[in-house]
Amino acid sequence: MTEQSYPPNLVTDAVDGVRKRHRKEIRFRLLGLSAILASLGFLVFFIASIVTTGYGAFVKTVVLVDVDLTLDSLGLEDGYTPKDLEEISYRTVARNAIRDMFPEVSGRSARRELTGLLGAGAEFELKDFVLKNPDLVGAPQSFWMTASDDFDLFNKGGAREETATQLSSQQKDWYRSLLRDSRVKTTFNASFLTASDSRDPELAGVWGAIKGSFFALGICLLLSFTVGVLAAIYLEEFAPKNRWTSLLEVNINNLAAVPSITYGLLGLAIFLGIFGLPRSASLVGGMVLALMTLPTIIISSRVSLQAVPPSIREAALGIGASHIQAVFHHVVPLALPGMLTGTIIGMARALGETAPLLMIGMVAFIADAPASVLDPASALPVQVYLWADSPERAFAEKTAGAILVLLAFLVAMNMAAVVLRKRFEKRW
């Protein structure tokens, strides 16, 4: 380096030391880039595997069945009333319809296999159809009916053998003949989003769980945002800084790291045990989730309050604003975007939380969507957990489908956080 002229030539004199620094920088950048690529890869793999499995939950197989709706076969007489229509045994009608399509089938077990092509909800679909279109009664009709879950899996799996361990070879033959006649198709499965849980995979949907999650999150937001933000404002702006408040601060930080199931135990002991609130209710679920998110919200709110430059407080106090005016007119509005972001992230975590809900009984099989926060309810992650546990193979795709719905909500919430941040953010 001693031969280096002074002043150094910009291009040729970028020797050793400088080169080394550049190489270091390049190495660091490459490392960072590969870390990002690796995590992106995992993410893509994760999403892709869930989407490919979960896609099936949003479509279903339907079969075109010729239903004999003549009065004779419905067991009706001329001059029937709408009430009579409701009392028909649609179960029998549906069975007869599918049997008539394969008249050659005989024998009890063969016939049972044949009716097993139709889903458990076939009779209700038929009933709804007839009640909605009473004028179609009296003539044979063709009608798309939901297929059973095994049949559905076989169809969606491209009729490969390994997708239909539950189907007999005879059933597969029927399927193929139906397919040849273009009597099988897949359609959008709206009921996955509008129906609640069911023992039958082809009827099961996430609506009840969505509603339960919605109620629980609503309660959670209400409680944890108001309490959390007010606590943060008090602690940060008004509380004296002494040993007690620092003890409090340490404890709040610790609470944020407590395993969530502990909050479930707390809720079980206090909300159910002492206050006697109803089990499995989304009200209690929301309260437990609020306890869980409270520390997160307090911490993020305090951080965003601390980030407001002290000169803003001084400016307000300096022209004679009272302490509370300075805080609420100037400091809080500036901290609000940070508070909202923290809250939404806390909410997103609460949305995905299962453990505390298990403890307060939000884990039961609940076939009706909750009508109020006091009704027994489940929640999306709990639904995922329940379905993942079910033996029927068709629930596997339901599980993935429910995860997709959950992810969609999470993405929506995080986007909301970004939008809110952008909207309220002000530079100073």
Partner 1 sequence: MVIAMTQEMQASKIPQTGEEPATDRPKIHASCVHVSYSGRSAIKNVDLDIRANSVTALIGPSGCGKTTFLRCLNRMNDIIDGCEVRGNIQLDGEDIYAPGVDTVVLRRRIGMVFQKPNPFPKSIYENVAYGPRIHGLASKGRALDGIVESSLKRAGLWDEVKDRLDAPATGLSGGQQQRLCIARAIAIEPDVILMDEPCSALDPIATARIEELIDELKQNFTIIIVTHSMQQAARVSQYTAFFHMGELVEEGETKVIFTNPKDPRTQAYVTGRIG
Helix H, strand E, coil C: the string for 328-349 is: HHHHHHHHHHHHHHHHHHHHHH
Distances from the Cα of 233 to the Cα of 251, 300, 311, 323, 327, angstroms: 17, 11, 17, 12, 8
Binding mask 228-247 for partner 1 (x = CB under 8 A): -------------x------
User: Distances in Å between the alpha carbon of 71 and those of 78, 93, 272?
Assistant: 8, 11, 55
The least CB distance from residue 315 to partner 1, in Å, is 4
In the bound state with partner 1, the residue whose beta carbon lies nearer, of 334 and 382, is 334
Q: Is 311 in the site for partner 1 (CB under 8 A)?
A: yes
426 is a site residue for partner 1 (CB under 8 A): yes
Minimum CB–partner distance for residue 319 and partner 1 (Å): 4
Dihedral class, residue 252 (left if φ above 0, else alpha if ψ from -120 to 50, else beta): alpha
261 binds partner 1 (CB under 8 A): no
Tell which one of 314, 411, 412, 419 touches partner 1 (CB under 8 A).
314
Q: Which stretch binds partner 1 (CB under 8 A): 18-26, 182-190, 281-289, 307-315?
A: 307-315
- CA 66-72-73 angle, to 5 degrees, is 40
All residues at 6 or more sequence positions from 95 whose CB lies less than 8 Å from its CB, including other chains: 115
Part of the chain binding partner 1 (CB under 8 A), chosen from 33-41, 49-57, 98-106, 325-333: 325-333
Q: How far apart are CA 223 and CA 350, in angstroms?
A: 13
Note whether 282 and 216 are within 8 A (CB). yes
305, 238 in Cβ contact below 8 A?
no
Q: How many residues bind partner 1 (CB under 8 A)?
A: 21
Among positions 279, 330, 393, 421, the unique one binding partner 1 when judged by CB under 8 A = 330
Report the 10 Å Cβ neighbour count for 210: 22
In the complex, minimum distance from the CB of residue 426 to partner 1, in angstroms, rounded to a whole number? 5
In the list 70, 226, 254, 322, the residue contacting partner 1 (rule: CB under 8 A) is: 322
Stretch that binds partner 1, among 182-190, 260-268, 276-284, 329-337 (CB under 8 A): 329-337
Contact residues for partner 1, defined by CB under 8 A: 241, 309, 311-322, 325, 329-330, 334, 426-428
